[in-house]
Structure 1
């Protein structure tokens, strides 16, 4: 049995001063979760981090966070390496230039705890994603059980962002694939959503919670889109199977 309710991992690569608001938001959300009675492990994963980023996170202001040095340079590989080392029954990730609402961790844990008590396998997502900086728009997430949800939507785009709150078991059952952008294969979070759904994990929205996604001039999303990357061929997405994907 793992020791704590949640492991929160902030992944950092080449960010410095923009991490200030990120870490403030993370600390507020962690405190809200602890005030609600949950135990939380806090980790900064410095994955192929630049010297400037490493120096930034080794400030005394972040001494209450564990700091792990990684050398993967890939969202999927670093998450797969991190998860077995964490202590939490649940895992949440935050990119070092993004933010989430103060209530996200507490309400997300409430949702997962209630689902587990009912014997349900659930992955939680914020109600809204707000994109800012290099782009400005809002994405409304939809419950997998909503009449507005259709699995055919997954042919067009990813329905669920990677900054979800997930039982540890789901990550161990469905490891992330590595990206291969030069060959036009990316969108690891998209594939994770499809594969978890096909294995009986239900994706739900936590009301009144927000993740703020910074869109930079250059990012994995921008690079993947620029190269017209696509999702890998998955058996769950074949025309005779996709209709049953979310059932």
Structure 2
């Protein structure tokens, strides 16, 4: 089996025509990646998709080498990501939702950064441009930045789900599943916490960006309405203890 450097995973549901620009952005990333001699593959994870979405994907990947469609029936994006990781042939997995867009240099620059650092990294773009409903710009923070506050992750998710990560790490540390009835959600937030617990660093790839479509109806909005929380993590007691130690030290210095 030929070596694959990066598996691009597009999570598709019922996006219909919105999937075309998403697949076009993957194609542009692949063109640059292949110019840099990277071996890439595309896996479209289609979870309970409709006929229009399937037709768009079939036409959209027809001219993309090493692309395949994987039908799924989970109704859960975290479960789909986990299954995609098991099927991926690449050393790294890069996720993209079916109505979002990658910047052209995302795969190349993320791969270069991952290869240059021996530590376990979860890579994110520097900037996210949200468009559609409630447009805004969201700048990711690096977990080694002096302004990074680990305890703050108990209140807000610092990173989007469109990460670049080593496949073996993801297989060993799968995404939690969403259960709105039991008020457990935010699979990406829960996984970001799990990754830290497993020793990974969340890093930003300089001069990279994603465009993320905001919709009136989305899983995030449904999760918010259900008053969900992310999967509990064991990182917060230690973070709060360290914060308390720092505060006490500052009090003693001031005294």
- Tell me by how many angstroms 1:236 deviates: 2.2
Contact residue 43 and residue 67 of structure 1 kept, 8 A: yes
Bigger Rg, which one: 2
Contact residue 36 and residue 108 of structure 2 kept, 8 A: yes
Matched, 1:203 2:202: yes
How far apart in 2 are the matches of 1:122 and 1:84? 19
CA 1:195 to 1:244, structure 2 compared with 1: closer, same or farther past 3 Å? farther
**Alignment map for 1:1-247 (pairs within 5 Å):** 3-59=3-59, 61-63=60-62, 64=64, 65-115=67-117, 119-237=118-236, 239-242=237-240
CA 1:46 to 1:235, structure 2 compared with 1: closer, same or farther past 3 Å? same
State how many pairs are aligned. 240
Q: TM-score, normalised by structure 1?
A: 0.92
- Tell me by how many angstroms 1:100 deviates: 1.1
SS at match of 1:213: strand
SS at match of 1:210: strand
Contact residue 91 and residue 166 of structure 2 kept, 8 A: yes
How far apart in 1 are the matches of 2:190 and 2:127? 20
CA 1:134 to 1:199, structure 2 compared with 1: closer, same or farther past 3 Å? same
CA 1:16 to 1:147, structure 2 compared with 1: closer, same or farther past 3 Å? same
SS at match of 1:49: coil
Pick which of 224-233 and 96-105 moved more.
224-233
How far apart in 2 are the matches of 1:35 and 1:165? 20
Could you say what the CA RMSD is over the residues aligned between the two structures, in angstroms? 1.8
Contact residue 152 and residue 243 of structure 1 kept, 8 A: no
- Tell me by how many angstroms 1:40 deviates: 0.2
Q: TM-score, normalised by structure 2?
A: 0.89
SS at match of 2:16: coil
More helix, by proportion: 2
For residues 105-129 of structure 1, the C-alpha deviation after alignment (integer angstroms, 9 at most, x for no partner) is 11000100101xxx21111100011
